[in-house]
Amino acid sequence: MSPAPIPKTAPFPEEQIELLNRVVGVASVTQRAWLAGFLAGLDAADAQPQPAAPPRPAEPLTILYATESGNSEKLAGDAAKAARKLGLKPTLVDMADLDLRSLASIRRLMVIAATWGEGDAPARAVSAYADLMSDRAPSLDGVEFAVLALGDTAYVEFCAIGKALDRRLEELGGTRIADRVDCDLDFAKPAATWIEDTLKSLAPHDEAGRGRVIEVDFVARQATSADLGPVEAEVGEHINLNSSRSDKETVHLELAFDGAAPAYKPGDSLDLYADNDPAAVDAVLKATGLKDDALRNDLQRNLDITTLSLKAMETYAATTGHRYVKELLESGAAREWIAGRQLIDLIEHFPIALTVEQLRAVTRPLAPRAYSIASARSEVGDEAHLLIAAVRYQSRGRGRKGVASGYAVERLKKGARVKVKLRPSKYFALPDPGRDIIMVGPGTGIAPFRAFVQERRAAGAAGKSWLFFGDRRYTHDFLYQLEWQDALADGALSRMDVAFSRDGAEKHYVQHRMWEQRRDLVDWLDNGAHLYVCGDAKAMAKDVRATLVRAVADVKALAPDAAEQAVRQIEREHRYQQDVY
Ligand SMILES: Cc1cc2nc3c(=O)[nH]c(=O)nc-3n(C[C@H](O)[C@H](O)[C@H](O)COP(=O)(O)OP(=O)(O)OC[C@H]3O[C@@H](n4cnc5c(N)ncnc54)[C@H](O)[C@@H]3O)c2cc1C
Ligand SMILES: Cc1cc2nc3c(=O)[nH]c(=O)nc-3n(C[C@H](O)[C@H](O)[C@H](O)COP(=O)(O)O)c2cc1C
């Protein structure tokens, strides 16, 4: 080893080179290696971190949802979480709160929309939807969009709102970035796949993925009771509230839970998991000639054996090759043929040897049915009460029964066990106890208002409560009559107006009573009252709203347009709430 390893050309003064040579020149290989490593480590520790490429700001994405029972909203939330992970900055917008003008400045738009009524927008989104369909809608040039539609193939207008929005966004100049997917009631899987695929198309494309901001949502989601699976309950009471001479059957059901009742609040519903009618199962097995215990069990508990949809008919034609069903579909007459018919009609009308797999393919999973909770925990503790009307009707020469209502009314008995799941309602809830409330609930629409009145009694609410109820006949169909009388007596209910449609020569419904009382009605609303409507969606809810618009126009001497705007304002303030079906 050279005694002078540091050359004179090293960047040190001459005397320091001499000093270094005195140390390094005599150092062993090990000592020099140590010194070299030590000096390198020292430099690395002192070094300032290299400035990384500046993080690219996350690209904005608007997720617009139109919901009534919360499915679309939940999916929109899931999409937002996934979007953040892909470097997007999502903003969730409820269509009920949509500011139309903001649409034009959006670059990326994901829409998740449900269809309600008979091909209608969810109640809360009706005005915004109408605006979007109108001339007031802005140009959407340069907006990339994709639509996920939620619906139910049992309805003729399957996913009508999602389909219409998809068309409209394109008409307005938007660019469809992913194909629309129309989901049936078992939407979880197709919706998740659509969200994943669509986000990939919408996410910023960067060559090497460098500079992408990944914002992971580390906030653990609070488990809500809605997330808990179905629970079992025992039927404590099962009472028909109609008289024996009524042509209706409406059962009051008291459910007792093994432990604590699901944490429900007035306005929430329970999903009831029903079994199919064994007679309906037998009919399907007989028509198909199939004998299979596993299949029977599935038909009884897990498969929807009544709904006949276009999709089911298409599957029937495709899997069996049935000529006449194919012709019916091709001619466009299938839609009309389906009306008032069920799966059994298809199998009996167009018989063909079916395998177990073919039969399974034309059915979908049996969905639970929702029932408004008719009690408040503050009054009934760990119970939940339901009010279920039997659905029975004749169509195409055959007597038919509703699946879940038939199960609840005819086959459930005291002591039976049922499976239910809480379905919380974010948009149908009591205001603070000081506010006045007006409740419009004919038929089973009365159910949540029993919960409202119980809750307000327990809370000693200062606000007044006004109930409109209607049904067919006073003597036979006055649901919970004694309870309302008690509530009027103890002040839990301030006022009640009733309409029994079949008692007089002319038919009178709740909306007629509202019209008669329009001055007080408008007065209450002017004083900040909240108005709730529950029950039939097809006619009643629409008539009630139209009556309110007319009442406002009449009492305030406003033009129809101005009265419509006044009611829309009440809706925007979330003081007009509906739970209709
Ligand atoms: C949030 C919510 C709350 C609800 N709360 C209540 C409640 O408190 N009480 C209550 O009783 N119900 C309530 N319902 C309705 C309930 O969920 C069911 O839809 C209802 O009980 C019928 O279900 P089903 O299984 O008996 O009938 P299904 O087997 O689902 O059959 C109903 C179908 O039969 C057909 N149909 C019915 N009547 C006729 C007819 N006259 N002519 C031709 N076709 C017909 C229609 O296609 C209809 O969709 C609520 C619904 C929702 C969404
Ligand atoms: C009373 C009622 C009416 C409905 N009407 C339709 C309809 O006309 N067309 C359709 O495709 N789906 C219809 N559906 C199914 C809903 O769109 C479906 O349940 C959807 O998942 C609800 O989504 P949401 O929770 O976001 O509101 C209806 C459901 C109910 C309960």
Q: What is the mean pLDDT of residues 293-302?
A: 97
Task: Determine the pLDDT at residue 228.
Answer: 62
Task: Determine the pLDDT at residue 42.
Answer: 67
Atom 28 (ligand 2): residue with closest C-alpha?
Answer: 116
- Residue 128 confidence (pLDDT) above 60: yes
Residue 365's beta-bridge partner residues? 303
Same fold, 59-202 and 437-580: yes
**What are the pLDDT digits (tens) for 262-271?**
999 999 999 9
**What are the pLDDT digits (tens) for 516-547?**
999 999 999 999 999 999 999 989 999 999 99
Q: What is the mean pLDDT of residues 222-244?
A: 81
Verify whether ligand 2 is closer than 6 Å to residue 427 (CB atom): no
Q: Quote the percentage of the chain above a pLDDT of 70.
A: 91
- Cβ atoms 495, 466 nearer than 8 A: yes
- Residue 49 confidence (pLDDT) above 70: no
Q: What is the mean pLDDT of residues 168-175?
A: 98
Q: What is the mean pLDDT of residues 120-127?
A: 92
Of 197, 285, 228, 196, residue with least CA distance to 421: 228
CA of 391 to the centre of ligand 1 (A): 7
Q: What is the mean pLDDT of residues 138-158?
A: 96
Dig out the tokens for 184 from the structure: 């049936």
Q: Which CATH architecture has domain 278-364?
A: Up-down Bundle (1.20)
Of 414, 370, 91, residue with least CA distance to 234: 414
**What are the pLDDT digits (tens) for 330-339?**
999 999 999 9
CA of 371 to the centre of ligand 1 (A): 9
Task: Determine the pLDDT at residue 220.
Answer: 36
Verify whether ligand 2 is closer than 6 Å to residue 368 (CB atom): no
Atom 37 (ligand 1): residue with closest C-alpha?
Answer: 391
Task: Determine the pLDDT at residue 211.
Answer: 40
- Name the residue of 63, 124, 129, 150 to mutate for ligand 2: max ligand atoms within 8 A of Cβ: 150
Q: Nearest bound ligand to CA 579?
A: 1
Residue 342 to residues 273, 319, 335, 349, 455, Cα–Cα distance (Å): 20, 18, 12, 11, 41
As a whole number of angstroms, the longest Cα–Cα distance in the chain is 125
Which atom number of ligand 1 is nearest to the Cα of residue 448?
A: 8
**What are the pLDDT digits (tens) for 67-121?**
999 999 999 999 999 999 999 999 999 999 998 989 989 999 999 999 999 899 9
- Third-level CATH fold of 229-274+368-423: Elongation Factor Tu (Ef-tu); domain 3 (2.40.30)
CA atoms of 165 and 13, how far apart (whole Å): 79
CA of 151 to the centre of ligand 2 (A): 5
Of 122, 113, 89, residue with least CA distance to 426: 122
Atom 39 (ligand 1): residue with closest C-alpha?
Answer: 393
- Cβ atoms 494, 523 nearer than 8 A: no
Q: DSSP letter at 505? A: S
Atom 2 (ligand 1): residue with closest C-alpha?
Answer: 370
Pairing of strands 108-114, 59-66: parallel
CA of 377 to the centre of ligand 1 (A): 26
Query: Which H or E element spans position 66?
Result: strand 59-66
Query: What CATH number does domain 59-202 carry, 3.90.480.20, 3.30.70.1150, 3.40.50.360, 3.40.1010.10?
Result: 3.40.50.360
- Residue 50 confidence (pLDDT) above 60: no
Task: Determine the pLDDT at residue 98.
Answer: 92
Helices H / strands E in the chain, number of each: 22, 21
CA atoms of 235 and 568, how far apart (whole Å): 42
pLDDT band for 180, please (50, 70, 90 cuts). very high
pLDDT band for 38, please (50, 70, 90 cuts). confident
CA atoms of 539 and 482, how far apart (whole Å): 28
Q: Nearest bound ligand to CA 393?
A: 1
Task: Determine the pLDDT at residue 45.
Answer: 61
- Cβ atoms 145, 175 nearer than 8 A: yes
Helix/strand/coil for 417 = strand
pLDDT band for 203, please (50, 70, 90 cuts). confident
Cβ-based neighbour number of residue 76 at 10 Å:
24
Phi, psi of 546 (to 5 degrees): -60, -35
CA of 91 to the centre of ligand 1 (A): 35
Verify whether ligand 2 is closer than 6 Å to residue 159 (CB atom): yes
Q: Nearest bound ligand to CA 305?
A: 1
What's the whole-number average pLDDT of the chain?
Answer: 91
When comparing pLDDT for 213 and 55, which is higher? Answer: 55
Residue in this structure with the two tokens 């043929």, named with its chain if needed: 337
Sketch the domain layout of the chain as residue ranges.
14-46, 59-202, 229-274+368-423, 278-364, 437-580
**What are the pLDDT digits (tens) for 410-454?**
999 999 999 999 999 988 999 999 999 999 999 999 999 999 999
- Residue 569 confidence (pLDDT) above 70: yes
Helix/strand/coil for 22 = helix
HSE-up of 372 (CA within 13 Å, CB side)? 26
CA atoms of 444 and 488, how far apart (whole Å): 20
Q: DSSP letter at 91? A: E
pLDDT band for 6, please (50, 70, 90 cuts). confident
Phi, psi of 282 (to 5 degrees): -60, -40
Q: Of how many residues is the chain composed?
A: 581
Verify whether ligand 2 is closer than 6 Å to residue 70 (CB atom): yes
Q: Quote the percentage of the chain above a pLDDT of 90.
A: 81
Of 221, 255, 280, 235, residue with least CA distance to 80: 221
Which of 212-216, 355-359, 562-566 is least confident? 212-216
- Cβ atoms 466, 494 nearer than 8 A: yes
Verify whether ligand 1 is closer than 6 Å to residue 581 (CB atom): yes
CA of 281 to the centre of ligand 2 (A): 26
Of 580, 574, 554, 479, residue with least CA distance to 127: 574
CA atoms of 574 and 96, how far apart (whole Å): 10
Which of 52-56, 83-87, 281-285, 425-429 is least confident? 52-56
Residue 491 to residues 27, 486, 517, Cα–Cα distance (Å): 101, 8, 20
Pairing of strands 108-114, 88-94: unpaired
Atom 13 (ligand 1): residue with closest C-alpha?
Answer: 371
HSE-up of 91 (CA within 13 Å, CB side)? 15
Letter for the amino acid at 131?
D
- Long-range CB pairs of 552-561 (<8 Å, 24+ gap) are 552/522, 552/525, 554/518, 555/518, 555/519, 555/522, 556/522
- Residue 166 confidence (pLDDT) above 90: yes
Pairing of strands 303-304, 269-273: unpaired
Verify whether ligand 1 is closer than 6 Å to residue 280 (CB atom): no
**Beta strand segments in 242-396, E:** 250-257, 269-273, 303-304, 364-365, 369-372, 383-389, 392-395
Is residue 49 exposed (0-12), middle (13-18) or buried (19+ Cβ within 10 Å)? exposed
CA atoms of 415 and 71, how far apart (whole Å): 33
Which of 156-160, 209-213, 294-298 is least confident? 209-213
Verify whether ligand 2 is closer than 6 Å to residue 535 (CB atom): no
Is 437-580 a CATH 3.40.50.80 domain?
yes
CA atoms of 203 and 379, how far apart (whole Å): 51
- Residue 457 confidence (pLDDT) above 90: yes
- SS3 percent helix, strand, coil of the chain, rounded to 5, is 40, 20, 40
pLDDT band for 204, please (50, 70, 90 cuts). confident
- Residue 407 confidence (pLDDT) above 90: yes
